Amino acid sequence: MTSRERLLTAYRCEEPDELPIMIRGVRSWDEDWVATRHPAYQPVIEAIAEHGDYQLGWGVGRGVLLSGTDEAYYSSVTEPGDDWNIITTTLHTPAGELVSQHKTSNRGLPGLSMDYPVKSLQDIECILSVPYEPMEVDPAGFFEMQQQLGDRGVLMCGVANPIHMMADLLGSELFAIWSIQHRDVILKLIYTLLERTCEVLDQQLAAGVGPVFSMAGEEYVTPPLHSARDFREFCIEPEKAISRRIHEAGCLLHTHCHGPLDDVLEDFIDLGSDALHPIEAPPLGNVTIEEAKRRLAGEVCIEGNIQIGDIYAAPTQLIIDEVKRNIEVAAPGGGYVLAPTASPYTEVLEPQTVKNYVAMVETAVEYGR
């Protein structure tokens, strides 16, 4: 099988010729990314270039709540710093201005949100006052990336689902508070965003984009910050309209969701997820690989769940043992892709981290056939 065939087979909960290996966040195919990495990354990049199955992403952007009218409404000012730059963005709406702040790193670290645009109910009215014009999807970029990738992996088309956009607007704290104080407002905005999401998705499907679509954001409303009821009401029920469209077109849905999923794990079956990343084991999550396989086998492909913290600091033998155990438990019958729980997040990789990454890949190759 090619890498593309191998991944698609696993996402369909079938058994490929050998174990798919997807090392999240190491962009071995991206020459610009590789050129900007510290030399310590090189052994990891080489191991993945030789043995990894690539998973790329493509998206259409979001605009102002998925409106095609965004460019004239935004302005931003950057305050440069030695390590961090602070970007202040103003959304100029017909009903008032909304201000947010974000930090970007000069050392390759993940960005950080400092302040969110929606802080009051009036701010909701402001953002909804922006005239809505459906985005026009141009799929040319997708097909160009797909041609470059070839059979080396899978190109996933991102779906801007309502929950992710809600979190970007409110932040997780205000979102949680309003789920109690202003539940009607939350639900109204979710279904407004859902309608717009489906309009964009319909264009993507009509253009022949696929066959794998990806969603993230569900982790903003998983327990314990929200209840299992919230998760079903805010995520599962609305997003069934998304998964139904994807499946009716003969395509697959990949979902990324961190956190403790024990109380909501089967909800991903109900949602229609074909693959779920990363399903974290204790102590950061609460679902072991044995439980995940027992409860999801034949329904949802497990993509994971080698903990990124272990890769960074654990003894190498622990990584080897975890990889072997995951393969033994989750690979039989298909529906398993070996992957870390997250991307590397430091500018420099320490020797132990490099050793663990390489050992993870080599062990997966040896025992995954």
Do the bridges between strand 96-105 and strand 84-93 make them parallel or antiparallel, or are there none, so unpaired? antiparallel
Q: Is pLDDT of 70 > 80?
A: no
| Structure confidence by residue, pLDDT tens digits, 232-246 | 999 999 999 999 999
- What pLDDT, on a 0 to 100 scale, did the predictor assign at position 71? 62
Average pLDDT, integer, range 313-322: 97
- What pLDDT, on a 0 to 100 scale, did the predictor assign at position 321? 97
| Structure confidence by residue, pLDDT tens digits, 45-58 | 999 999 999 999 99
**190: phi then psi, degrees, rounded to nearest 5:** -60, -45
Q: Is pLDDT of 135 > 90?
A: no
16-25, 30-39, 63-72, 130-139: the lowest-pLDDT one: 63-72
Q: Is pLDDT of 17 > 90?
A: yes
- Looking at the chain, the number of H-run helices and the number of E-run strands are 14, 11
Architecture of the domain whose range is 3-69+131-367: Alpha-Beta Barrel (3.20)
User: In this structure, are residues 253 and 274 in contact, taking their beta carbons and an 8 Å threshold?
Assistant: yes
Tokens representing 97? 């201005």
- What pLDDT, on a 0 to 100 scale, did the predictor assign at position 208? 95
User: In this structure, are residues 171 and 236 in contact, taking their beta carbons and an 8 Å threshold?
Assistant: no
Total-model pTM: 0.94
- The runs of H, that is alpha helices, within 182-218 are 183-206
User: In this structure, are residues 305 and 281 in contact, taking their beta carbons and an 8 Å threshold?
Assistant: yes
Tokens representing 246? 């994807």
Q: 65: pLDDT confidence band, cut at 50, 70 and 90? A: confident
- What pLDDT, on a 0 to 100 scale, did the predictor assign at position 107? 81
User: In this structure, are residues 307 and 281 in contact, taking their beta carbons and an 8 Å threshold?
Assistant: yes
Q: 104: pLDDT confidence band, cut at 50, 70 and 90? A: very high
- What pLDDT, on a 0 to 100 scale, did the predictor assign at position 369? 85
Distance CA 182, CA 149 (A): 45
134: DSSP letter: B
Distance CA 8, CA 335 (A): 10
Average pLDDT, integer, range 265-276: 98
Q: Is pLDDT of 72 > 80?
A: no
CATH code 3.20.20.210 region(s) in the chain: 3-69+131-367
